[in-house]
Each structure stands twice: as structure tokens, then as C-alpha cells.
Structure 1
Amino acid sequence: MTLAGIILGALATFAIYKHLEPTLPDVETLRTVQLQTPLRIYSADGKLIGEFGEKRRTPVDYDVIPPTFVKAFYAAEDANFETHHGIDVKGLLRAFVQLAKTGHIQGGGSTITMQVARNFFLTRQQTFTRKFSEILLSLQMEQELSKDEIFELYVNKIYLGNRAYGIEAAAQVYYGKSISDLSLAEMAMIAGLPKAPSAYNPIANPDRAMERRNWILGRMLDLGYIDDVAYEQAIKEPNTARYHGLQPELDAPYVAEMARAELLDKFPDLYEGGYRVFTTVDSHLQETAQQALANALLEYETRHGFRGPEQHWDLSSLDSATLQKQLKAIPSYSGLMPAVVTQVQDKQIQVRLADDSEVTVDWSGLKWARKNINVNSLGPVPKQAADIVTVGDVVRVRQQQAFADNAEDNPEGEVIWTLSQLPVVQGALVSLNPKDGAIMALSGGFNFYYSNFNRATQARRQPGSNIKPFIYAAALENGFSPGSIINDAPIVYSDPSLASGAWRPENSGGKFYGPTRMREALYMSRNLVSIRLLRAIGIETGIDYLSRFGFDPANLPRGLSLALGTASLTPMEVATGYASIANGGYKVSSYLINRVENVDGKVLVENTATEACPSCIISNQAVTPDGHPVAKQIMDPRVNYLLTDMLMDVIRRGTGHRAAALKRSDLAGKTGTTNDQVDAWFSGYNSRIATSVWVGFDQPSTLGRREFGAVAALPAWMDYMAVALKGMPEEPRQQPDGIVSVRIDPKTGERAAPGSDGIFELFQSELAPPELHLNAQGQVQKEIRPEDLF
């Protein structure tokens, strides 16, 4: 009977094998298996910006797995892994006994090889057919793959709780470090998770997790994997696991979201395919941009006073634990930490933070907090801390450098605590490489997690005087010169859409200055001159010219108000336009993604941006030396040179003169402020970098009567550019042929008479004022022109 039973069993097994064998997958495919790996986005210098995908997974090669970690898994899951041929006979016998007694398999008997077979090819359904298929696949795998390959597949595929798939992801999730940095106890803790990731989770079930960890350590000792000293040290180590969310190396969520959105329609498996996206942003400049914009917005808040506490709590009704829990529930943004006032003294307050620490805010960090009445009005200067807050107020505090006027109490450079508040004002900063439009840095607001609306690309605002350089360039292309005289005088246009029935544009401040040189009108931002220039060249001519820079004509008003910046443009569009001026007059488009690689490092997408290449234009080449398309020339080189020279005067002596503090001679730029100071701008550049900053409210309203572009936006531009330009040598601009310097009378724009006061001005050679004609007495004989007869 026994022999017959064995024969029948063997025949049955063979029959089952022949039945299942055609349906089994090819284990050779495991060599090229594609593990579901999240999308990862990096800066140009390789720092992680963001990760998108349901599964956190970072596949690792077997060679980088610490040997002790390998042994920990052997001890936990399969001590005979290195010697068996894919199956554990004793374990399988136990499984078949369960089948005979209960009618189904309850588990057990699975080697690491069998788990790989199940995880990659089969379901977890406890059936005889599935178990037999698992055995057959395991036997095949041991024939086709090495032990190292099988183990590598195993530790990269397994689910280990908290969205972590694979050991590297688990190490990051539970301990915030790589597998190579784990202690023996931490390795044993992770090795205990595959059996039941929820039951043995060191965060959710720390007691059971510690029991399993210690059992594994004991097994490692018994199996000779570790010695007594290592065991005793590891067994005493406390459970240090806690949840570590994704920790990007670079805080640039606006950039990460832009990259993700751009690729969404291009890759159906975007969140699972293991794509690596390398952007154009420079990590150092990106950090600088975000901080520069945040500082400018917080300074605006300081200028406009304290709006009061966010909440008020009755501290007598809250115990310490409850108080801390409530504080932890309030998120911090960009260093602005929630705090509750616990003591109010004469010139200082004590506040409690979410980490249960107490800090002191001295008078130097409080005295700014006059009451905010509205954007144009503040309450009286506070005389004591009680004029500002009371015990139980929930406020924001932050650390910052002491300012020079605080030096008596706080020496320059000392970090102090100061009262603060979340800004209601917002802004954007965009910085581009003029050569090809690559985004070097971008911030779409104060903080992405406070408001994820990306104002750099999504906010359409009026650029105000930031549009004027493009209007002036159009005028220079159409017969005007920097020395042209235009009358800065009142003008009235009929406009039935206005209540008054007429449009009466004014300069900032309401003054008019009469005949004004075009250069001076630009650096002093005279509105009436801009209007007359646009009227002279024609609105359609102006719109056509602006469209060269990428501005959509649909967003440009077909009226003279265009000259004052009533278009609807994003900061990205404005920065891109300035980049084309900065590079010498070549049309470039902004772009963010430099390349996309698959999980194997193969480049799938690479940027094909056009590049400014003056020498290529001269030699009639369509491709640059590095293989990029040549950008189209959209400005006469002479016009570009003259415009930049005029915009340099904005910084040397005009509305952007504060930027002269950067002490560079190669900077040009333009302020911009719309009616009632609703939008504030500064855009500026040299040949290597073009940056635009916008500040305003999301729901358009006045920033305040003194909040011009030079006040609200320029400080962020300066803070950013000071870092971006550090170590960058100044590059003198090459004057193109066809430019002449002529000494003129600044009042008339004509050549200066001998012996008279005059200034030198630059002209396109064919537009230079004509030579003076002197009579016999040496006096200027004015040439009568046809237009002088009327």
C-alpha cells in the first residue's frame, strides 16, 4: 500500500505538473523586470526636489546591501536560502499536512525564492494550485537565476509598511537614512516586517515589533551570523523608528509640480515607471530665490503693521499635553512657527513652541508691531509688550538676523526671535538663462504648502511700466533715438467706458515735465512719453513688435493704455521677454526640463531649446556648435545695444537706483507699478541672467500708496541677484557697428553748438542729428525743415 501510494502520488504530481507547466510564466523575464518606482524630479546639479507615486521604492543592487542585512533576512525568513534549491521540503510537508487536515493551506513552507515567485507572478490566494505553481516556478528560478539575483528581486519588491516597497525605501521611511547607515538592531527591525508589515510595524505596534526584532537577533546569534557582543549591544538599543516623510534635498515644490504637470500626458505610467527628471534649476540659486521672495513679503508685512493673533486660547483650561497637541496641529511655513504667549512683561514676551520649548521675544523683535488699520494706516507706536499681545494669544515667531538699528541691544549678526505673521501679500520670482531660456530658479509664492497656486506661471497681472522697454524698443526700430525729444505734457482721450467720458493719464506723482529726452523719460518712467511714443509708431506696430518676444497679442490691449502696461501677463512671460533683450535680441522660450531618463538611465527626452548665437546668425548656421537650434534674431543689434544702455540708466540714476548697491556696471532693468500700486515689479538682467519679480495680492487691490516696484519688488531682486552674480565677472558689452556718439543739446536733442553746454548721446548712425551749419559770424544757421513751415 505504501509503495502504491507513493507511485500514485508521483503520478498525480506528474499529471499536475504537465497540466500547469504550459501556463507558467517565463522566469527569464525576471532579469528585465520593471519594478513600480515613483517619479523623481531633480535639480540640474542632481538634488532631489520631489517624488510622485503611491509606492515609495528605491531599487538597490545586491552589491550595495550590507552583508549583515542579508543575514538578518536569512534569519527571519529562510536560514537555508544559500543551500536549498528553491523549496524547503520540511516546510512543504507541514503545509500539505495542513491541507489534509483542513482542506486548504494555511501558510508556511515558503522560501525566499518562493516568495519572489508569488510576489512577481502569482496571487496570495491560499490554494493548492497556486502553491504548486509557486513550487514549480521556484525550481525554475533556481536553475535560471543566481542566489544574489533572487535575493535582490526579493528585497526590492517586498512591501514593508507605510507605503515603503523594498529595503531602501523602508530604511528611509522608518529611520530617515540609507541601508548602509542602519545599525544591526535597525536592520533586524526591517527584516521582521515581511511576515506581517502591519502587525510588526515599529511605529503602529512597537511592542510586537520589538519582540520580533529581538527574536531575529537571537536567531542571528544562534546561526552564527553575529557574536555575543554585537547581540548584547543590539538587544539594548531602543526602538528609534518614526515616520520620515519624503525629505527632498532641495525645497522647490513649485518647480516639482511644474515638471510633473508637463510630463503627465507624455508618460501613461508616469508614477510607476521609475522616471528621473532633471530640471534646469540650480539648487543654490533656487534656495536663494525662495528665501529672497519670502523675505521681501515678510518685510512688506512689517511695514504694514501687525494684524493681531491668529487665535486666542484660555490657558487655564488647557493642560500641557493638550496645549502642545494643539500647537502641533498648526503647520509651520517658511520658518514661521506657531506659538502661544505664556507671559507678557514690560518689553518682552515668553512664548511656547510646538516642540514644548519656551523662547523669549525681546523688544527688538516686538517694537515693529504697530496695529494694522489698513494698507495706508498704522496705529500708534507700541510702548510696551502689552500693547501688542496678551497671554493666550496664538501668534507666529521666527528667527532672523538682528538689524543694524538693533545693534545696541543685539550686535549685528546675532540671531534673535521676532514676532511675525503669515503674509497676506504674495509674489513670484523667475530667473532665466538668457542664452536659451532655461529656468535657473523659480518661486511661485511665499510657500507652496501655504498656497500651491503658482503665481510665476498662473497669475496674469498688469506689468505696468515693466512693459515700457518693449515699447521703447519698438520706437527705436521706427525712427526714434535716445536723444529724441518728446513732450511730457497732459493729454486727454475720449473714453465713453469711463464715468468721466475721458481718459487723462498722469505720471506717478501727478507732475508733468515738458519736453523730455527719450532716455530720461525711460529711466524716470514718464507715462505721457510712453503714450506719445506708442501713438507715434501706431498701436498695431507696437503689438506686432511685442509679439516678437512671445507676448500673446490676445493679452495685449489694442489701445494706448498698452504703453502703461495694462496687458495681462504672467511673471514667466515678462521674464522671458527680458531674457530676449538680455541675450542681444534673440527669441528664446522658457523651459524647465533638461532631460528625462528611464529606470536604466536611458535618456528618453532631452531639451531642444533654441539658443542665442550671434556668430551662427552671421555665418548663416541653423545649428549651434553644441547641436541646438539657433534662436531667431528679433531685434536690430543697435536697437538692443541702445535699449540696454538706457535701461542701465534706470539703475545708475533712475527709479531702480537702489540696485546700484550691487556695485556692478553691467546691470540693466526696469521698475513697474500699476495704477493705485496694485502690482509692483522689477525686471533686470545682464548678459548671463535675467530675473523678474512681482509682488501683489492674489485678489487685486492696492498694496499701499508708497508700495512702488522699487520698494516692494526690487529688494527681492537685489537679494537674489547679489548671490546669483557672486563671482561672475562683468562682461563689457560690445558696441555694434552703426552706433555713433554725438554731443547734443539736452533741451533740444540737436547737436550742441560750439562752446555751449552739451551731453554725449548714442545714436544709430543714420538717425544722428545733422551737422551744424555756421554763418560768416560763426553763428548756428538753423536748417529749415519742411515740417517747420507748418
Structure 2
Amino acid sequence: MRKRHLSYIKAVLGRIRSATGRATPLVRTALLAGVIVAAVLFPIAAIGGLAVKSGADLIDEVPTELTAVRPAQTTYVYASDGETLLTSFYEEHRAYVPITEMSPYIQQAIVAAEDTRFYEHDGVDPRGVARAFIANTQAGDVAQGGSTLTMQYVRMALRDGAETPTEVREATEQSATRKVREAQYAVEVEKELSKAEILERYLNHAYFGHRAYGIFAAAEIFFSKHPRDLTLVESAVLAGLVQAPSAYDPVTQDQQAAIERRNWVIDRMAELGYVAPRVAEQEKRKPIELNTSTPPNDCVSVPTDHNDWGFFCDLFRRWWLSQEAFGDNPLQRQDALRRGGYEIVTSIDPDVQETMQGHVVSKEPTGSPFAHGAVAIEPGTGLVKGMAVNRNFALNAAEDATVDDIAGNYPDTVAPLLGGGELAGYQAGSTFKWFVLLAALDAGLPMDTRISSPHQYVSSYPSGGPASCGGYWCPRNASPEMAGNHGMWSGFGQSVNTYFVQLQELVGAGAAVRMAENLGLTWRTEVDQTHASPDRADGWGPFTLGVSDANPLEMANAYAVAAADGNYCEPLPVVSIKDRDGHEVTYTDEHGNQVPVSEPRCRQAVTPEVARAATDIALCPTGSGAATGSCGGWATAEPVSDIVGRPVAGKTGTTDDNRTAWMVGYTPELAVAAFTADPDNPMNAAGGGRASQSILTVSETLRDALRGEPVTDFEPPPRSIIR
């Protein structure tokens, strides 16, 4: 057998002499070495048909993935403190680690396990080839490999960099051609990279099992530590896994195989002088002490102690997929998120989130069919500081649906109940009077626009429904006591329906609809889209009473505009995004400037004068008291100011039969919107007992989030806009 194999190798070498005649000496050497390696590692039958190309053709150019540092890496997402891990995204869990941040033990162990002559050869090891040749000849099969650590790195890098089906096949096929290519590339790589650089890249590409790609992931998954902290025993365990992760798996397999493999690695380390024989014997007697961890992946894997953060994570993910800076389409952006190795600091404030979540679930338990949720936004930036709801962000939907054919959005759901997704939201009630108010002020109507407001008013809007009088819509106030002559302060503070219907008639329902759109609202249902269309909007009489759907993310942001002196900012879930090289990610704006993706995107939606006037009026519902006019006595959310302990502007909102209950409140520093509704059955009345939940959640969140912060007063409006 040995003579037969040697004769075959000589024959192959003779066949390729003419093919390499014009190649450089280095190319010729690499090609010859590659063919020898291929002949050693493959049975004669498999290599007999090898068609040898010229060396110049085979290594015309070394692929950039062999020298560049571009393996897929895990993206990490943190809370606003930059330390609290929210989740991570990956296809292959990997984070690139420079060799200076790796324990010397793991460097020594991998050399001992995979290539003892790594520091002596130039990419292809003749001694290793000869050793493998003898072993394989005696066995009549492939009993031992001849690939150097550099050749293994080449194989891994080509595999990880493969994008097309052809590249994948060429990088993974069991063929002599591949072996020849790897040997040639290995020689070239050794020319361009130092041994330390090759070892660094190898350890960042190697697969260790349990979805651990690279030494960072392996150290984290098996031992819950950084590679710099790996001990000799731990390093030997990990180095022993690379050859056969499943066979030597210390987690799911009998540890005896892993121990024997580890001890073999330690013995090799001792032979190479990396560890004294006495120390090696001591280390071999130690048990394998695992401390496994499973890194989160995507939003459904948010750590259990932050399960409620999944709704914010989902908002972030949807936002990312909409950003052109990360790709031309959502598929490319998703790929960038899962492979790009970004470090992302989000806007979610752990303190705000924790306090808001506590207030939410204390009022409506997680198992309730009624959803109670809240969103907090920073005025002037649009940064989303918290998203809380009495639900678990999880895939396994409950079976206790409230209506037939609905899976039930409690206690587990991944539906975007708080905004940022395709769900329309919930009828917003009188919180929509905000848009009529701003439209009127923007049109030049003074704050003291006084209107006689009876208990019931026959409007100019045609209607054939139950709330019609002689073919026209005729809404009523919540109580006959509200009737009277009102200005904007008392009309808003007491939520007088008949005042705002008439105010909407003065300014035009279309103007109110356009104002809502100007402040970020989107019409998601077909009914709302029809009513909001330019040719129909002026006839949308019930708009001011909040018959349309909205979500708390939109509503908090719409009210935050007034707190920011009229600046509208898109809801933003991030404060910093850095790529794998530590550079801030940017996009090109309409002026050709490079702008950080994480920079707030704001515009002047209404003038500062209009914003300040609206805020002064919105102080009435909360019991804070307007600076420039009379709130008219009682208010719909009078306890808010006392609970928060500082001036708060805002508005309540309820719909027929208390099917939904809303509160939006804001200070100069924070805007919070809360709601209670049944997402599965919108006709299910929350009842009077739940009407105050949103008021209390908003009040208590503002109080706790701003505790210790100096009290900031709102700027009063100019006197010219009052009367």
C-alpha cells in the first residue's frame, strides 16, 4: 500500500510540472505542497481525477477575507446606562477579541491541540504531512490530518465569507482541489500576517459547539467569563473541542470523554514546555467546573428579569429595519443587525422602565384580559425612555381568548401593544381634543375664544347614526353641569364636548386632522384612512371626541411637542450606534451631510407661542392651574398635580361605556401616555373602576422618574395670544 501511494504521489507531481512552469517559485512550492497534502488526506480513488490548474490561476489573488477581520459578529444592545444588557442579535454568536485580551493559556492550548509546529512552519508543515501520510497509509484511510493551524484558519475564513452557493460549495466540499487551494492560501497568508495575527483570527473563527463561534462566545457560554480570564484547565477543555465539538461536549455528553481530551491537551502543553510536568499532573486531577450561560438572541430572548423590556426591544428592531443606513431593504438591514457586530446603546432608562412597569402591574395584573400600558418620551429629542404593559413579551400566546378565533393577547404576546407596529391602537377619547386645540391656536384663534356650550349641541356635520338630531350629529357633554359659556381653559379642563365640537367647526375638522398628522399620528384602519382623506376630513365631526385609534407611543410624543416649544421629534429608541470598529454609524441627510443615525430628527411643528399657549391650557385638567386664564373650577384629572408635586400639563380621555381610559401628562422633562383597554375585544368595557388607572400610572411615573430633579416651570404664552 505504501509503495502504491508513493508511486501515485510521484505521478501526480510529474503531471503538474508543466502546469507550474511559468509560476513563481513561491507559487510552485505552494502548489506542490498542496497536492502532497491532498494526496495524503484523500484516498487514491478520490484524488485520481484531480485536474490540476496552474499555480498562477489558483492563487491569482488571496481573498480579502483571509487577511481582513470580518467574520460575522454578535450585535449587543444595551439600556441607556451603557451597561445593562437588553439583548443581542446574531446568526453565529461571536464577538471579535484581540489576542492581547485572550488568556495565554488558550493561545498555548490551541497550538498544542491543533498544530504543535505552528511557530516553525510557513503555512504548510512537511513534517506534519509526512506524519499524516504514514498514519493514513497504514490505516488505508484518513486516520490523521495534515492541515496546519493556518490551513484550518483559511478553511474557516473562506467558509464564513462565502455568500453565493458556489462559494459555499467550494469552501466546504471534501475534495483534493479544496486542499490544494487551502495549502496555497496558507502560504500566502503567512507572508501577509504575523503568527500572532493568524492565531488571533483562528481563535475568533473557530467553532466550539453550542452555537459558540469564536473564543469570546465559547468562554461566555461554557464558563460565563471573558477570554482573558480563562484558566489552564478551562483553556484545555475549549481547545479540545475544536476538532469534534459534539464528541467532547462537556455539557450534554458524559464528561469522561471531555476529561480525557482535556488531559491530552494538557500533556501536549507540557511537552511543548508551556506548563511544567508537575503542574500538568495537578491540573489534570481537577474536575471540569462549568458555569454555562445562554446569551439572549432577538427580542423574545430578553433576560427574564427584564421580560417587560421586550416591547421596547421590538420597537427598536422595527425602527432598525426602517433605517436605510443599514441596507437597501429590510432583509439587508436584518442581516446587518444579526452579523454586523454593532454596539448599540438604546434610550430605555432602567429606572424609568422599572418604576413605570411597577405602577402598571400594580393596577392591572398580567393575567387580566385588559391591557394597561404606558410609554414615556423625552420632549425635544423623541427618546423613548420606557414602555410598560401588563404582559409578558413571549411567543406562546395564551388560550384564554375573550372572543372566538382570537389567540388571546394575555398574558403572553409579541403584538406591539404600545406602538411602533402595525396594530391600530385604541380609541383615544377626549385626548384628541388636543389636536383641535392646537389647530385653533395655530389658526390664530385666541385662548379666550368663548363659546356658549349647551349640554347637547346640534352640529353642522350630517349624520344618520343614533347620535343624530334631524340628520345632523348632536353630541352631549358627560354631565349637564358642564353647560355654560367656556373659553379654551375651562373647555379643555372640564373636557366639554359641545365646546370642542363648535371649536372644531370654527377651525375645520380637516385642519385638526392635519394637525394630528403633523404631530406624528398615523391612520391604520381603513375607516380612519377614509375619514382622514383630504376630500373627507372636513366632514369628520366626531374626530374631536377621539373615535379614531391611536397608541400610547404616538400620544405621548404628540403631547411632548408642546413641552418642547413646538418641536416635533420622531420617536427614537437609540442614543448611540457604533460599528465593529468603534465608529459611530451615520447616514447622508438631504443636504449631503453625514449625520449620526442616533441623532434626534426634529422639526418645528408649531410655533413656540402656540405650544406655550396649549401648555397653559393643558394645565387645567391636571389641577395645576393656568397662568393666564381661569380653569373654571373642577378638572378631569385634578389629583395629578398634587401627586407629582410639580406643574403638569395633560388630558384625560374615555370612550363610550369606558371601553378605553386614557391619560397623557407631561412636564418639561418627560411626557407619559397611559391607557386601559381590551385589545382582543375593544367593545369590552373597562368599567368605571379602571377609569382612574391611567391617571394614577401617569402621575406616579412622573413623580418617581423626576424625584430629586429641580422643578422646572413652563414658559407662559405671550399676552398677544390670550385675547
Identify which of 669, 672, 677 aligns with 2:650.
669
1:545-564 matched pairs, under 5 angstroms? 545-552=515-522, 554=529, 556=532, 558-564=539-545
Identify which of 435, 457, 472 aligns with 1:470.
435
The 8 Å contact of residues 523 and 649 in structure 1, kept in 2 or not, is answered as yes
User: For residues 633-687 of structure 1, what are the alpha-carbon distances to aligned partners after superposition, in whole Å with 9 as ceiling and x for unaligned?
Assistant: 524x444323212222322262223322444333211111111111121111122
The 8 Å contact of residues 463 and 565 in structure 1, kept in 2 or not, is answered as yes
3-state SS of paired residue (1:651): coil
Per the TM alignment, residue 7 of structure 1 is displaced from its structure 2 partner at its CA by 8.4
- The verdict on how the C-alpha distance between 1:230 and 1:157 changes in structure 2, with shifts beyond 3 A counting, is same
Distance in 2 of aligned mates of 1:248 and 1:508: 44
Distance in 2 of aligned mates of 1:609 and 1:486: 48
Give the helix-richer structure, 1 or 2.
2
Distance in 2 of aligned mates of 1:245 and 1:96: 42
1:424-443 matched pairs, under 5 angstroms? 424-443=369-388
Q: Which residue of 2 aligns with 1:397?
A: none
Q: Which residue of 1 aligns with 2:399?
A: none
Amino acid at match of 2:686: G
3-state SS of paired residue (1:649): coil
Distance in 2 of aligned mates of 1:524 and 1:499: 21
3-state SS of paired residue (2:568): coil
- The verdict on how the C-alpha distance between 1:730 and 1:468 changes in structure 2, with shifts beyond 3 A counting, is same
The 8 Å contact of residues 644 and 699 in structure 2, kept in 1 or not, is answered as no
Distance in 2 of aligned mates of 1:8 and 1:518: 99
Q: Which residue of 1 aligns with 2:57?
A: 22
Q: Which residue of 2 aligns with 1:632?
A: 604
Amino acid at match of 2:203: V
Identify which of 242, 259, 268 aligns with 2:292.
242
Aligned residues with identical type, % of pairs? 26
Give TM-score scaled by structure 2 length: 0.74
3-state SS of paired residue (1:694): strand
- The verdict on how the C-alpha distance between 1:500 and 1:645 changes in structure 2, with shifts beyond 3 A counting, is closer
3-state SS of paired residue (1:486): strand
The 8 Å contact of residues 444 and 454 in structure 1, kept in 2 or not, is answered as no
- The verdict on how the C-alpha distance between 1:86 and 1:525 changes in structure 2, with shifts beyond 3 A counting, is same
Q: Which residue of 1 aligns with 2:583?
A: 602
Q: Which residue of 2 aligns with 1:232?
A: 282
Distance in 1 of aligned mates of 2:496 and 2:105: 74
Per the TM alignment, residue 56 of structure 1 is displaced from its structure 2 partner at its CA by 0.6
Q: Which residue of 2 aligns with 1:146?
A: 194
2:347 equivalent to 1:281: yes
Identify which of 504, 507, 513 aligns with 1:534.
504
3-state SS of paired residue (1:149): helix
Per the TM alignment, residue 170 of structure 1 is displaced from its structure 2 partner at its CA by 1.3
Distance in 1 of aligned mates of 2:254 and 2:603: 61
Q: Which residue of 2 aligns with 1:135?
A: 183
3-state SS of paired residue (2:676): strand
The 8 Å contact of residues 465 and 525 in structure 1, kept in 2 or not, is answered as yes
The 8 Å contact of residues 74 and 90 in structure 2, kept in 1 or not, is answered as yes
Identify which of 97, 115, 122 aligns with 1:85.
122
3-state SS of paired residue (1:455): coil
3-state SS of paired residue (1:41): strand
Identify which of 646, 650, 662 aligns with 2:617.
646
- The verdict on how the C-alpha distance between 1:630 and 1:703 changes in structure 2, with shifts beyond 3 A counting, is closer
2:412 equivalent to 1:446: no
The 8 Å contact of residues 684 and 691 in structure 1, kept in 2 or not, is answered as yes
Distance in 2 of aligned mates of 1:609 and 1:590: 20
Identify which of 536, 546, 549 aligns with 1:568.
549
Give TM-score scaled by structure 1 length: 0.68
2:265 equivalent to 1:216: yes
Distance in 2 of aligned mates of 1:463 and 1:243: 44
3-state SS of paired residue (2:336): coil
Please tell me the root mean square deviation across aligned C-alpha atoms, in Å. 3.6
Q: Which residue of 1 aligns with 2:318?
A: 261
The 8 Å contact of residues 39 and 274 in structure 1, kept in 2 or not, is answered as yes
Q: Which residue of 2 aligns with 1:116?
A: 153
1:413-428 matched pairs, under 5 angstroms? 422-428=367-373
Distance in 2 of aligned mates of 1:513 and 1:593: 47
Per the TM alignment, residue 280 of structure 1 is displaced from its structure 2 partner at its CA by 4.6
Q: Which residue of 1 aligns with 2:495?
A: 525
Amino acid at match of 2:228: S
1:463-502 matched pairs, under 5 angstroms? 463-476=428-441, 477-482=443-448, 484=450, 486-492=452-458, 495-498=463-466
Distance in 1 of aligned mates of 2:291 and 2:259: 11
Q: Which residue of 2 aligns with 1:36?
A: 72
Distance in 2 of aligned mates of 1:639 and 1:654: 22
Distance in 2 of aligned mates of 1:28 and 1:507: 72
The 8 Å contact of residues 445 and 454 in structure 1, kept in 2 or not, is answered as no
Distance in 2 of aligned mates of 1:42 and 1:606: 22
> Could you list the runs of 5+ residues in structure 1 that have no partner in the other structure?
302-420, 611-622, 740-762, 768-790
- The verdict on how the C-alpha distance between 1:470 and 1:486 changes in structure 2, with shifts beyond 3 A counting, is farther
2:685 equivalent to 1:706: no
Identify which of 149, 152, 176 aligns with 2:224.
176
The 8 Å contact of residues 264 and 270 in structure 1, kept in 2 or not, is answered as no
The 8 Å contact of residues 114 and 148 in structure 2, kept in 1 or not, is answered as yes
3-state SS of paired residue (2:364): helix
3-state SS of paired residue (2:620): helix
**Greater relative contact order (CA < 8 Å, ≥ 6 in sequence):** 2
Matched residues, number: 604
User: For residues 581-629 of structure 1, what are the alpha-carbon distances to aligned partners after superposition, in whole Å with 9 as ceiling and x for unaligned?
Assistant: 111223333233455443223334359699xxxxxxxxxxxx9xx9988
- The verdict on how the C-alpha distance between 1:104 and 1:9 changes in structure 2, with shifts beyond 3 A counting, is same
Q: Which residue of 1 aligns with 2:41?
A: none
3-state SS of paired residue (1:603): coil
Q: Which residue of 1 aligns with 2:670?
A: 689
3-state SS of paired residue (1:440): strand
3-state SS of paired residue (1:174): helix
Q: Which moved more, 1:438-447 or 1:165-174?
A: 438-447
User: For residues 81-125 of structure 1, what are the alpha-carbon distances to aligned partners after superposition, in whole Å with 9 as ceiling and x for unaligned?
Assistant: 223333333331233346656776454122211211222236454
Per the TM alignment, residue 279 of structure 1 is displaced from its structure 2 partner at its CA by 5.3
Q: Which residue of 2 aligns with 1:613?
A: none
Per the TM alignment, residue 148 of structure 1 is displaced from its structure 2 partner at its CA by 0.5
Amino acid at match of 1:255: F
3-state SS of paired residue (1:209): helix
Amino acid at match of 2:668: S
The 8 Å contact of residues 185 and 235 in structure 1, kept in 2 or not, is answered as no
- The verdict on how the C-alpha distance between 1:735 and 1:721 changes in structure 2, with shifts beyond 3 A counting, is closer
3-state SS of paired residue (1:140): helix
- The verdict on how the C-alpha distance between 1:13 and 1:445 changes in structure 2, with shifts beyond 3 A counting, is farther
User: For residues 551-602 of structure 1, what are the alpha-carbon distances to aligned partners after superposition, in whole Å with 9 as ceiling and x for unaligned?
Assistant: 3573656433222111222222212211211112233332334554432233
Identify which of 46, 62, 68 aligns with 2:82.
46
The 8 Å contact of residues 123 and 186 in structure 2, kept in 1 or not, is answered as yes
Q: Which moved more, 1:488-497 or 1:115-124?
A: 488-497
Amino acid at match of 1:22: D
Per the TM alignment, residue 483 of structure 1 is displaced from its structure 2 partner at its CA by 7.1
2:241 equivalent to 1:193: yes
